[in-house]
Amino acid sequence: MVMSVRMALLPLIFSLMIHRVSGADWGVSYRHSHICALKDSSVTIYCTYTYPTGYKIKKTIWTKTLVKDKESNEAEDTSKYENKSEKKHEDAQDLSEDPEYSQRLQYLGDKQKNCTIRLSHVTQKDSHMYYFRFTTKKTKKKWIGDRGVSLTVTDLQVEAPERVTEGDSVRLTCKSSCARTDRATFIWYRNSQPLTERRDRNNQLLLQSVRREDAGRYSCALQEHTYISPAVQLSVTYPPKSVSVSISPSGEIVEGDSVTLSCSSDSNPPAEINWFKEGTFVGSGRIYSISKISSDHSEEYKCKSRNKHGEKDSDTVTLNVMYPPKNVSVSISPSGEIVEGDSVTLICSSDSNPPAEISWFKGGTFVGSGSIYSISKISSDHSGEYKCKSRNKHGEKYSDAVTLNIMYAPRNVSVSISSVEGDSVTLIGNSDSNPPAEISWFKENQSSSVGSGQSFSALQSGRFYCEAHNQHGSQRSDAVTVTGGGKTVLYTAVVIAAGCGVLFLICIIMFIRKRKSAVSDVRQKQVHCDDGLHARVSIKRPSADQTAGKTIKTVYAMVQHVKNNKSNENLTVHHPDPAARSDAMVGKSVIYSKVK
């Protein structure tokens, strides 16, 4: 029974021994059945093959086509296909003859045992199954490694969030579509520049406490590989920073120009811009334009930059607008009434840029410069109209005139004769004062006034004076003497001057007449100036032409010579009637006296 079983197994054992030899003599071996390569990299497919002793290799090829007529890979005798068109094994295309591979495929093996190849600059189109096939010269035996090698070409991809907020942490991953068998070292790039401090066998990049400088385009690669993954943008969001304002055009700004203010801001996402003038909102947008600028725009400006993460103001900038003088005016200090002896300051106010030069004029005459014109111990001579002129390189303008009205007490008070009329003499009080003075009349040795007003009619003899007074002081005139008889009133000064003059003239006239006349007894008598000669003076009323002047008075007097006797001792000035006057006169002469 046992013997029969052994006999039955012999054919099976023999058959297995034959197959093992056959497989050991013919074969193709691949180091890796699956290879994952990076796009644009070079791939090496390691391969070895065996065949029985006594055979020589005629041809080796790599192909993407698996040619197989039998289920096994046993060497096939293809001599029967020789010189015939039905050569199915020849359908396998040699990649070295394929235009897509010929320039990239390099056979590194030999015709003995090594069938290794290198494929460079692989692309995703190269993802395929690859097979090695060899042909012997003897009996044209052929063998193909049917298991082949699977090549997958992939690119690297960076996975990262689109945006991250400043201060947060973020993790970036370098991924591929297939798993690599080797422990590759990853290199990271930002904006095409390698991050040398970021070399790790881990395919992840961790950024802690992200800064705005970390924003950029990130890519990854494998060390010793030229291929770099497509870049991915990492956006870091943050509140506005570095907010500033610029002015265009730069340089001097003159009234009427057009000016543009630009607000610069570093923020993510982009910020909204608002403009403020002295704290008041005036506009929005990155640019704020002013056409035909005026002095009203000369203020401080700033912009506010704002996004969802925060806001920030720029520093203020000042628009310094140049313009000619305007609103030129003069003010007086102290205000109110100005009294002689005070100190007075005139101040010229002017709105201009640049500041104007100030000149002062009194009635058209230059009197000084500077914004302030001071007068110490002012007097009436300073009364008048004043104005200032404001001038800069852009123009000039005059202020309206102001009047200095100086108040002072009466001075130069005097009395003059206005007229002699009938029984009275009119006295006029003259005074220089501001405001005009009130005039009061006094008679010497009397405490109360005898009249008021600028003119006063004296009806009796005596010494009279006037007193001028206003709120700033008073002054009295010198006294004048008025003497009179009956209804006529004359100045004592006139009587004295006229009397002395008349007496002197009478002496001369009488002396001449006595020498020439021997007829009359009166003429024969020697006349002496000391014979007690008296004069009867008759005041003649002046005509209208003779009274036209106010400062010059003319008195007409008729001198009548009479003999000295006791009845003439109390002679007074009076108006004799014409009849009496003609009878009483012994000798007549008319004397004209001018009284000032």
Which DSSP helix (H) or strand (E) runs through 514? helix 492-516
| Buried-exposed string 147-173: b where 16+ CB fall within 10 A, e elsewhere | ebbbbbbbbbebebeeebebeeebebe
Phi then psi for 504, rounded to 5 degrees?
-65, -45
Task: Look up the pTM and report it.
Answer: 0.50
Give the Cα separation of 133 and 144 in Å (integer). Answer: 4
Q: Could you tell me if 496 and 461 are in contact, meaning their C-beta atoms sit under 8 angstroms apart?
A: no
Give the Cα separation of 175 and 158 in Å (integer). Answer: 6
Q: Could you tell me if 464 and 452 are in contact, meaning their C-beta atoms sit under 8 angstroms apart?
A: no
Amino acid at 246: S
Amino acid at 273: I
Among residues 417, 482, 391, which one has the least CA distance to residue 443?
A: 482
Residue with token string 């993802």: 127
Residue with token string 């008349």: 502
Query: What is the mean pLDDT, run by run of 10 residues, along the chain of 596 residues?
Result: 39 37 71 88 92 87 77 42 40 86 92 91 92 82 84 90 91 81 78 77 85 92 82 94 94 94 94 95 96 92 96 95 95 92 95 95 94 94 95 95 94 86 82 94 89 88 92 92 56 57 82 63 40 39 41 39 40 39 38 38
pLDDT value at residue 190: 93
**C-alpha triplet 331, 335, 339: angle, nearest 5°:** 120
Give the Cα separation of 215 and 234 in Å (integer). Answer: 5
Distances (CA, A) of 251 to 123, 261, 299: 61, 13, 16
| Buried-exposed string 560-573: b where 16+ CB fall within 10 A, e elsewhere | bbbeeeeeeeeeeb
Give the Cα separation of 74 and 51 in Å (integer). Answer: 11
Q: Could you tell me if 330 and 358 are in contact, meaning their C-beta atoms sit under 8 angstroms apart?
A: no
pLDDT value at residue 314: 96
Residue with token string 């005070």: 342
- Please report the DSSP string for 166-232 in residue order: TT--EEEEEE-SS--SS-PPEEEEETTEEEEEEEESSSEEEE-S--GGG-EEEEEEETT---BPPPE
pLDDT value at residue 16: 36
Give the Cα separation of 127 and 41 in Å (integer). Answer: 13
What number of other Cβ atoms are within 10 A of residue 352's Cβ?
23
Which DSSP helix (H) or strand (E) runs through 510? helix 492-516
pLDDT value at residue 130: 95
pLDDT value at residue 68: 62
Among residues 139, 168, 6, 154, which one has the least CA distance to residue 77?
A: 139
pLDDT value at residue 592: 40
Give the Cα separation of 49 and 15 in Å (integer). Answer: 24
Q: Could you tell me if 75 and 143 are in contact, meaning their C-beta atoms sit under 8 angstroms apart?
A: yes
Contacts of 206 (CB under 8 A, 6+ apart): 169, 170, 171, 172
pLDDT value at residue 182: 58
Among residues 368, 363, 435, which one has the least CA distance to residue 405?
A: 435
Exposure on the CB side of residue 467, measured as CA atoms within 13 A: 14
* Domains along the sequence of the chain with CATH: 24-78+89-153 (2.60.40.10), 155-230 (2.60.40.10), 237-319 (2.60.40.10), 324-404 (2.60.40.10), 411-485 (2.60.40.10), 491-595 (no CATH)
Give the Cα separation of 386 and 338 in Å (integer). Answer: 15
pLDDT value at residue 316: 96
Cα first-last separation, the chain: 197
Report which DSSP code applies to 513. Answer: H
| Cis peptide bond N-terminal to 52, omega within 30 | no
Structure tokens, 567: 């009845």
* Three-class SS state of 508: helix
The β-bridge relationship of strands 117-119 and 47-50 is unpaired
Contacts of 503 (CB under 8 A, 6+ apart): 529, 533, 535
pLDDT value at residue 44: 93
pLDDT value at residue 517: 58
Contacts of 85 (CB under 8 A, 6+ apart): none
Q: Could you tell me if 243 and 313 are in contact, meaning their C-beta atoms sit under 8 angstroms apart?
A: yes
